[in-house]
Structure 1
Amino acid sequence: MEHTYNGMPATDLAGASWRKSRHSNSQGNCVELAELSDGSIAVRNSRFPDGPALIYTRDEIRALVLGVKDGEFDGLMV
């Protein structure tokens, strides 16, 4: 895989297998994640699949998921 960077076009991530939550709705209002060959995780907006992808380390994604599970972001759902 070529060099990855935050904000790169998601279409440049050749071979990325994008996944989204089963909780997403039919209007495509969700984010999608893909594991990259170097172990990092790419995130993109499903409404703009050709748009930018943000690249995170596994530790960063782990911290986010644990925070979500602990309810730390529940206030954003209002």
Structure 2
Amino acid sequence: MYSNGVSANLITGVTWVKSSLSDGIGGNCVEIARLAEGHVALRNSRDTCGPALVYNSGEWEAFLQGAKDGEFDSMTV
């Protein structure tokens, strides 16, 4: 399995996706990819060869639930 900080271009055989709400201007997006065993990788779309953060299924589910519950709303500008 990939570890945090792995170069995103070394994660192969996956499809990177970004939100349909992304404006597409300037590449200011976060992209995610589903990995084996329920893991998820995140990368910065402006640096597709840069480091990727890798989360296990429990971490990813906790983040998504927190976002759905509004826990991170104070992080927006």
RMSD: 1.0
1:15-36, Cα deviation, whole Å (9 max, x unpaired)? 1210110111222111111011
What does 1:67-78 correspond to in 2, within 5 Å? 67-78=66-77
1:19-75, Cα deviation, whole Å (9 max, x unpaired)? 110111222111111011232111101110010111101111111111111111111
How many residues get paired?
Answer: 76
Q: Which runs of 5+ in 1 are unaligned?
A: none
Q: Distance in 2 between matches of 1:33 and 1:22?
A: 12
Instruction: Give the corresponding residue for 2:15.
Output: 17
1:39 maps to 2:47: no
Q: Distance in 1 between matches of 2:2 and 2:18?
A: 21
